[in-house]
Structure 1
Amino acid sequence: MMVSMEALAMAGEDYQEWGLSIDEYEYQESVVPSHLLAEEDCSEEDSEDEDHVNDDNRDFDGVEAKQHVTCDVRDSSVGKLIEQSISHIIVHLKQIKLLTHLLENFLFSHVLDFLL
């Protein structure tokens, strides 16, 4: 039975009684489920086409604009693209969460040192 720490906290239960550890819970949060990960749809032919297309990129005021996308949206399902986008968003949100905690700890330690 999979129980989340948030659900236990809302129910007023202790997570240790359920056999959960903080490290195990954080690991579970950091792993993206396999059903959310998109499979690679690009073939080797697309990679070879990309090499030829890279020569045809245009540069407008330092911004590179590609005329060809390596993975054609029509060839891959929209659902897989959405899943891949969501998994990237989840990873970035977790990185932001970690950086926020690091910044809070850093600021707290410096304010505490300043006050003492």
Structure 2
Amino acid sequence: MRFLIFTVVFFLIAAVIKIDLTDGTVPLAAFDKEPLTEACEQQIAIKTLSVMTTAGDTVQSLLAAYPSEVDLSYPERMAQFYKLNPHLQKQAMITGELIKIPIYDKLENNC
């Protein structure tokens, strides 16, 4: 009988600890965040450049050939490329195809 009670108490304590560690005792509390302040954010303009593909072109080679002024990560540039060319998500590039390449420019901040 003691073993059964010990087992039940053990599993209850384990469940409480699991819930406390995964959800937290005070869920969605943000004690360490600083108050939001109005800050000047970098404004980006996206232009497109139409390019005729040649043999051996890949998405990576085209994005490398046309770099941007703005420091963006490669996945962000790829996402914008596929937004402009959704047909290339499921098919390969064809030689002589006209595709659009995103070109990023910085805009002046008036802060």
TM-score normalized by the length of structure 1: 0.23
Larger radius of gyration: 2
Q: Which has the higher contact order (CA 8 A, sep 6+)?
A: 2
Higher helix proportion: 1
Structure with more strand by fraction: 2
